[in-house]
Chain A
Amino acid sequence: MSRKTALHGAHVALGAKMGEFAGYDMPLYYGLGVKKEHEWVRASCGIFDVSHMGQISVKGAEGETDAVEFFEKITPSAFSKLGINRTKYTVLTNDQGGIIDDLMVTKTGDNEFHCVINAGCKEKDIQWIKSHLTSGLEFTYFEDWSLIALQGEKAEDVVRDVLGKDLSDVPYMGLWYEDYTMFISRLGYTGEDGFEISVPNKDAEALWNKLLEHDAVEPIGLAARDSLRLEMGYCLYGHDIDASTTPREADLSWVMGKNNDGFIGADKVVDPARKRVGVKLTGKGVAREGAEIRTTDDEVIGTLTSGGFSPTLGMSIGQGYVPVEYAQEGTELLINVRGRNIEAEVAKMPFVPAKTKSAKAVKTA
């Protein structure tokens, strides 16, 4: 039996095509269809139910720094200088330097953090985090909370119109919250400006329906969420990154804090022999996950870990791992689809420019 989010009934009522994702019965697409949903998010504002993702927090005592030290142990990032209510994208590493999950970590206080983790990794992550907790740290799993993503250039207007809140001063990767009944983070998985709104399950459907009433808003399923994130070159856990890929192989070195060499598996995160790259098809066709990456001499050098058609570019794009000598932008490759080689090349990611608000655009009060 698939699990259901608090918004399951709302999706069914909207006539969504449902399908299983990470053990949940989730909307894959609604009436517009995948391509139009994708385009709607790029032009206006879409809402996504991402309540299947896990929300957790780790808190230490005030005046201490043990929660900061904990996150610098379980992730390769640096958190001591991160501002309050600011978020970092990072990864949990295992003792081989492999990626257990990728996650968003928000510093909600000097010694407390809130995280959003992948649906398919919840149990594993929670067990891992709990088993590494040092004494004095308090762990909470917000099992009864929903998460609604609001993505697109009109997201700020929608929040103003529907919720009566002016969030124009909230920077990219910043958090705003109210009375512990609603948390709004300015971030997302589409490359658009937008927010993720966390509310208790009991408030989720009313919020979802209120947002939907706005003319600029359409509901968007997981299929378009995937094509949107692929255009940004974002990783999908279990596909583009997993326990066998290190942050450096995954081209996520930027999440690593300069002075953090004490994280779990740090000694195994060495100069990589292969690297995650973006691939675009210059020949005709569509290449999906699992397609072989070959050199122009037809030698197999890797596999696409994600792939599909980019509605924005009108061409097929993907990601995959290749030996570092083939990782240079513009390197010509072949992608083998059902026995046919299609011309391709290593492409810079994101494939489509991000429109997220600058992290630096903080208005000083």
Chain B
Amino acid sequence: MAELKFTKDHECIYVDGDIAYVGISEHARDALGDLVFVELPEVGKAVEKGGDVAVVESVKTAAEVYSPVDGEVVEVNEPMVDDLELIAKPVNEDGWIVKVKVADASALSDLMDEAAYAEYLKEVD
């Protein structure tokens, strides 16, 4: 099984070489409820760690998706705009929203692994 990483803002990340696949965690999906729209950035957009990279909209609310690293958007998941169910797929398969080329791999070190994220969810709940 692919090793997934998580942020405190509930992004879910899969790292393949210097490419970070960025999606949202199951917890985030449950909290948002029924999704109605995904707003994707332009390919080539420079992003900062903690800066907006996409927006997911549910019936309830709009939620920003933050980039876990400094880098550049190299691919966006266009099919997801028309098939929002894709967001429920694993982030290393079709569930990613954007792929970001990581400028500095050391920025990934403060991401949580699954066990740490599970602990974190217990704390914030």
The answer to whether B36 and A309 have CB atoms under 8 Å apart is yes
Let me know if A284 and B60 touch, CB within 8 A: no
Structural contact, A286 and B57, CB atoms closer than 8 A: yes
Asked, given contacts A35-B33, A35-B34, A284-B81, whether A223 binds B59 with beta carbons under 8 Å apart, the answer is yes
Type the 1/0 row for B53-92, where 1 means its CB is closer than 8 Å to any CB of A. Answer: 0010111101000000000000000000100000000000
Binary interface encoding of chain B residues 18-58 relative to chain A, with 1 for a CB under 8 A from any of its CBs, else 0: 00000000000000011011010000000000000001011
**Are the C-beta atoms of A33 and B62 separated by less than 8 Å?**
no
Contact between A285 and B59 (Cβ–Cβ < 8 Å)?
no
Interchain CB contact under 8 A, B39 and A34: no
Q: State in angstroms the CA–CA spacing of A308 and B37 once bound together.
A: 11
Instruction: Find out whether the CB atom of B59 lies under 8 angstroms from the CB atom of A308.
Output: yes
Number of interface residues of B (CB under 8 A): 12
Chain B residues with CB under 8 Å of A340's CB are 39
Of A34, A284, A337, A338, which contacts B59 at CB under 8 A?
Answer: A34
Pair B60/A34 contact, Cβ less than 8 Å: yes
> Per-residue CB proximity of A257-292 to B under 8 Å, as 1/0?
000000000000000000000000000111010000
Residues in B with CB closer than 8 Å to A309 are 36-37, 57, 59
- Determine how close the nearest CB of chain A comes to the CB of B34; give it in whole angstroms: 4
A328-365 interface with B by 8 A CB criterion: 337-338, 340
Residues of the A chain whose Cβ atoms lie less than 8 Å from the Cβ of B58: 34
Decide yes or no whether A38 CB sits under 8 A from chain B. yes
Smallest distance from the beta carbon of A32 to chain B beta carbons, Å? 10
CA distance A74 to B105 in the complex (A): 67
Contact A285 B60 (CB under 8 A): no
Q: Which residue of B lies closest to A338 (CB)?
A: B55
If A33-B33, A34-B34, A35-B34 touch, whether A288 touches B62 (CB-CB below 8 Å) is yes
Q: In the complex, what distance in Å separates the CA atom of A316 from the CA atom of B58?
A: 11
Given A35-B34, A308-B59, A338-B55, 8 more pairs with CB closer than 8 A: A34-B34, A35-B59, A36-B34, A223-B60, A286-B37, A286-B57, A309-B57, A311-B59
Chain A residues packing against B (C-beta within 8 Å) = 28-29, 33-36, 38, 223, 227, 284-286, 288, 308-309, 311, 316, 337-338, 340
The 6 closest A-B pairs by CB, nearest first: A35-B34, A286-B57, A309-B36, A34-B59, A33-B33, A35-B59
Can you pick out 23 interface pairs between chain A and chain B where the beta carbons lie within 8 Å of each other? A28-B60, A29-B33, A33-B33, A33-B34, A33-B59, A34-B58, A34-B59, A34-B60, A35-B59, A38-B59, A223-B59, A223-B60, A227-B59, A285-B39, A286-B57, A288-B62, A308-B59, A309-B36, A309-B37, A311-B59, A316-B37, A338-B39, A340-B39
> Using a CB–CB distance below 8 Å, which chain B residues touch chain A?
33-34, 36-37, 39, 55, 57-60, 62, 81
